[in-house]
């Protein structure tokens, strides 16, 4: 198959999850994250350069330059590109810098949030950025969860003392994604802007996307392995529902309610509702104070009477065993860049839920087309990227342990999962970088990829362009 493309990977990102700013340091940099990608058959990753609301991050170009220096500092085993996360709607920045991002950097996608206080935009701000993106042929990605609903539910849960990791899921029921996808679709329809919903995890969210696609709107959706292999029950996997170790399983949106939701989502994989299948690799360690433990360290009731030196080593682990923490302060995200392709092979392709052609579309060809890399990526050509898998009749299924993986994370959500195949060779631009269970490439093998406009976001013939119904007059 063409080399795998993972279009949703978080590396070298720092996220503030609480008032002390302790949490949210990504465990993987470009070296370790790309090494893990190569070992799982991925030859290209797209990561996120993140604007904040600090004055020094007002310029998107400076944000990208600073982030690029992190990639160049370590190098990468695989090719990489950037999305830009935008959290401000400064008119002069959007007017002057977005063309440069597109033309000079080849950054043809931006991500906007409908949740998280430090990142979410109002509807009018969303329209500002989406309008600027459309004028520059930049694809808009949407994290669709209603932040006000989440904040209100979180406050109510805390008033009842329901703060353990498991309750993270109760603060984000499927209707949270359902409302946000509906709203974003309406905004996109209003200004005739193509959008892609990232990490769609609910049947309700998928149904909204399907309905919009049936209307002829250029609405696309990404989904991820956690929504096909985990459920809400995994948020109480360790020892008891209130055990803090369950923080390892927290991601947003949370996994579906039950395995019956899995089956409905598999239909979306097969029928085209989902355009791409990414990992949303967002790695945080459990043995590091800037990882999952910030859910305890940022929680004042848990830390009352505790000493500062308990923030490391065995003393930190002892603290986590004794304290409940609060889900509000736990960094949202799980690792998965290495297991993405094998999980889809095992859970969907090997079981006949999708065809080999659909497998390749979801994991390689469609990401290449959507993000302006086709046919340099996502196609089998001389000197291009490729994966070779083991013959099914000779591969011996195995049960995964974290020690087998190549990321810099001290756990995997898929510990003990049985896999029915794994990439045998990963080939980057004609060079083998992974072979028979060993990394054989070098950390400088990966190159930055300048991307062009999306080949998928041109709209569909049935889309309504009547200026009395939508603001198509904006572009006259």
Q: Quote the tokens at residue 194.
A: 């193509």
Band (22; pLDDT cuts 50, 70, 90): confident
Taking the CA of residue 23 as centre, how many other CA atoms within 13 Å lie in the half-sphere pointing to its CB?
26
Give the residue-averaged pLDDT of 115-138: 96
Checking if the pLDDT of 21 tops 90, the result is no
Q: How confident is the model at residue 133, as a pLDDT? A: 97
Q: Quote the tokens at residue 260.
A: 């019956």
Percentage of the chain lying above the pLDDT 90 cut = 90
Contact 326, 353 (CB under 8 A): no
- Parse the chain into domains and list their residue ranges: 4-465
Tell me 9's DSSP state.
B
Q: How confident is the model at residue 457, as a pLDDT? A: 73
How many residues are given for the chain? 476
d(CA 401, CA 51): 35
Q: How confident is the model at residue 135, as a pLDDT? A: 94
The backbone region for 348, taken as left when phi is positive above 0, alpha when psi lies in -120 to 50, beta otherwise, is: alpha
Q: How confident is the model at residue 104, as a pLDDT? A: 98
Name the nearest CA neighbour of 335 among 416, 265, 249. 249
Q: How confident is the model at residue 14, as a pLDDT? A: 84
Q: What is the mean pLDDT of the chain?
A: 95
Q: 416-474 pLDDT, tens per residue?
A: 999 999 999 999 999 999 999 999 999 999 999 999 999 987 655 566 778 888 998 99
Q: Quote the tokens at residue 276.
A: 């791409």
d(CA 434, CA 317): 35
DSSP 125-177: HHHHHHHHHHHTTPEEEEE---HHHHHHHHHHHHHTT--SGGGGGGGS-HHHH
SS3 assignment, position 6: strand
The backbone region for 210, taken as left when phi is positive above 0, alpha when psi lies in -120 to 50, beta otherwise, is: alpha
Q: How confident is the model at residue 18, as a pLDDT? A: 74
Band (168; pLDDT cuts 50, 70, 90): very high
Instruction: Give the residue with greater pLDDT, 378 vs 242.
Output: 378
Tell me 361's DSSP state.
I
Q: 237-271 pLDDT, tens per residue?
A: 998 888 999 999 999 999 999 999 999 999 999 99
Query: CATH homologous superfamily of domain 4-465?
Result: Metal-dependent hydrolases (3.20.20.140)
d(CA 404, CA 20): 35
- Hunting for tokens 């054989």 — which residue is that? 440
Band (325; pLDDT cuts 50, 70, 90): very high
Q: How confident is the model at residue 459, as a pLDDT? A: 57
CA distances from 434 to 256, 365, 449 (A): 33, 21, 20
Q: Quote the tokens at residue 407.
A: 């990321």
CA–CA–CA angle 16, 20, 21 (5° rounding)? 20
d(CA 417, CA 398): 8
Q: 43-94 pLDDT, tens per residue?
A: 999 999 999 999 999 999 999 999 999 999 999 999 999 999 999 999 999 9
Asked, as a colleague might, if the bond just before 128 is cis with ω within 30 of 0, I would say no
């Amino acid at each position: 198959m063409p080399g795998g493309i993972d279009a949703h990977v978080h590396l070298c990102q720092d996220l503030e999850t609480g008032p002390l700013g302790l949490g949210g340091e990504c465990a993987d940099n470009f070296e370790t994250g790309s090494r893990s990608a190569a070992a799982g058959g991925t030859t290209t990753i797209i990561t996120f350069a993140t604007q904040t609301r600090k004055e020094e991050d007002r310029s998107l170009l400076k944000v990208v330059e600073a982030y690029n220096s992190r990639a160049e500092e370590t190098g990468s085993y695989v090719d990489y590109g950037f999305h830009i996360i935008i959290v401000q709607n400064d008119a002069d920045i959007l007017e002057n810098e977005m063309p440069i991002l597109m033309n000079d950097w080849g950054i043809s996608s931006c991500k906007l949030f409908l949740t998280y206080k430090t990142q979410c935009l109002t509807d009018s701000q969303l329209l500002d950025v989406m309008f600027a993106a459309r004028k520059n042929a930049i694809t808009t990605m949407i994290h669709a969860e209603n932040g006000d609903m989440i904040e209100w539910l979180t406050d109510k849960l805390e008033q009842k003392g329901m703060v353990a990791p498991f309750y993270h899921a109760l603060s984000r029921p499927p209707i949270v994604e359902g409302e946000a996808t509906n709203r974003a679709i309406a905004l996109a329809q209003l200004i005739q802007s193509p959008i892609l919903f990232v990490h769609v995890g609910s049947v309700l969210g998928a149904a909204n996307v399907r309905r919009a696609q049936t209307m002829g709107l250029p609405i696309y959706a990404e989904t991820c392995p956690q929504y096909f292999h985990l459920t809400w029950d995994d948020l109480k996997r360790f020892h008891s529902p209130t055990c803090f170790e369950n923080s390892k399983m927290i991601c947003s949106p949370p996994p579906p309610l039950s395995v019956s939701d899995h089956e409905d989502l598999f239909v979306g994989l097969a029928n085209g509702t989902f355009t791409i299948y990414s990992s949303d690799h967002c790695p945080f360690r459990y043995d590091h104070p800037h990882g999952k433990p910030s859910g305890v360290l940022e929680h004042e009731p848990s830390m009352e009477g505790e000493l500062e030196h308990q923030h490391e080593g065995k003393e930190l682990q002892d603290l986590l065993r004794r304290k409940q923490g609060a889900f509000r302060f736990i960094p949202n995200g799980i690792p998965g860049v290495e297991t993405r392709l094998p999980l889809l092979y095992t859970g969907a392709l090997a079981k006949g839920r999708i065809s080999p052609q659909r497998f390749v579309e979801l994991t390689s060809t469609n990401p290449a087309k959507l993000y302006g890399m086709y046919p340099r990526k996502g196609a089998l050509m001389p000197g291009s990227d490729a994966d070779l898998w083991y013959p099914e009749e000779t591969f011996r299924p195995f049960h995964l342990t974290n020690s087998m993986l190549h990321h810099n994370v001290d756990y995997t959500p898929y510990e003990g999962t049985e896999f029915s195949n794994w990439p045998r060779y990963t080939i980057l631009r004609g060079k083998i970088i992974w072979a028979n269970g060993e990394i054989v490439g070098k950390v400088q093998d990966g190159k930055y990829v300048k991307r062009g406009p999306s080949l998928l976001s041109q709209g569909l013939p049935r889309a309504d362009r009547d200026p009395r119904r939508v603001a198509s007059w904006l572009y006259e």
